[in-house]
Amino acid sequence: MQDNKYKQHTVKLQIIKFLSDGEFHSGEDLGESLGISRAAISKHVKGIQEWGIDIARVQGKGYQLARPMDLLDQKVIQASATVPVELIPVIDSTNQYLLETFHQRESGCVCIAEYQSQGRGRRGRKWQSPYGSNLYFSMYWKLEAGVAAAMGLSLAIGVAIVDALESLGARDLKLKWPNDLYYQDKKLAGILVEMSGQTGGEAHLVIGMGLNIDMRVGDNSIDQPWANLSQVFDAEMPTRNQIVIALIQAWKQVLDQYEEQGMASFVERWNALDNFKDKPIKLLMGNKEIYGIGKGINAQGGILLQTDQGIETYVGGEISLRKA
């Protein structure tokens, strides 16, 4: 059940559903179908535009989306998922939602959204989350081994995302330490692992992923090169529902393996996917910059850097890796 903080936005969601076919819909027809005035429709459309949806209004024809929209369908996803899946189309942050409500949930449950008003990345950075064009996906996971075992989790989940997308036909996906999916040297997805607390020896974790699918945003709104999954697939693009189903399956599989065998069992696969293997990189730690050649990760998930002093290992969430 959704509490008051998570408004249902019923009328706006119905308007989006009508418009998702990419055809024109007049204000009059929409108003009639939904039992409200044309003026009310116009007001709702303005609100919808604030969620990052591109809607045009043409005199005499009505409203039309810039392109058809492939909407998420909870029932379709749930029918193929072995864990509970909650779709909250409009939310502040799927990670935040599970952090606040995990007490009532089982480990492995998933929350997805069409739009996040406060999507976040690491260290409070903003994650651009326009409606309907990406995936905002979070899973609650109770890690029996406790927080000390969580260090490599974002690396293992990176492997799970590649597994899921490759099972749908994607190729040439790469990983960047510690939490990004890359395509052609651009950021395609980001992973954010957050901890809500510990009970006994168990850590309550929320693992979130933002995956760009077909996002159009102004050039300046993201301050680094980024990519869309539509570029990876060209023509044969799977639906967003199919992508979610594949992700749930792969994440569950990888997390079970992570619990049983630990980070070491992912090292070889991760290193084969490393975008910066044998390339000049720098590690940023506060004001400090360390230059070297990327040498992949070790069994604990630390990044290996070849420097004049030999191979050095770095661990910790405060480090950012950049091309040198």
Task: Please pick, from the candidates 40, 43, 71, 121, the single residue that binds ligand BTN as defined by CB under 6 A.
Answer: 121
Going by their DSSP bridges, the two strands 134-143 and 202-212 should be labelled as antiparallel
Residue 241 lies near ligand BTN (rule: CB under 6 A): no
Q: Which of residues 216-275 bind ligand ATP (CB under 6 A)?
A: 222-224, 226
Name which of 108, 46, 137, 158 is nearest 259 in CA terms.
Answer: 108
Please list, residue by residue across 297-318, b when 16 or more beta carbons sit within 10 angstroms of its beta carbon and e when fewer do: bbeebbbbbeeeeeeeebeeee
Least distance to ligand ATP, CB of residue 269, Å: 20
Least distance to ligand BTN, CB of residue 211, Å: 8
Element (H, E) at 27: helix 27-34
Q: Which of residues 130-169 bind ligand BTN (CB under 6 A)?
A: 136-138
Helix (H, G, I), strand (E, B) or coil at 95: helix
Least distance to ligand ATP, CB of residue 93, Å: 13
* Both tokens assigned to 196: 């809500």
Task: Please pick, from the candidates 158, 190, 294, 302, the single residue that binds ligand BTN as defined by CB under 6 A.
Answer: 190
**Partner from ligand BTN, ligand ATP, none binding residue 321, C-beta < 5-8 Å depending on class:** ligand ATP
CA distances from 250 to 82, 113, 199, 226, 296 (A): 12, 19, 27, 24, 23
Name which of 19 and 211 has its Cβ closer to ligand BTN.
211
- Examine the residue annotation and report whether 67 is marked as an active-site residue of this protein: no
Residue 119 lies near ligand BTN (rule: CB under 6 A): yes
Going by their DSSP bridges, the two strands 280-285 and 202-212 should be labelled as unpaired
- Positions annotated as catalytic residues are 122, 187, 322
Query: What are the residues binding ligand ATP (CB under 6 A)?
Result: 121-123, 125, 127-128, 179-180, 187, 190, 210, 212, 222-224, 226, 320-321
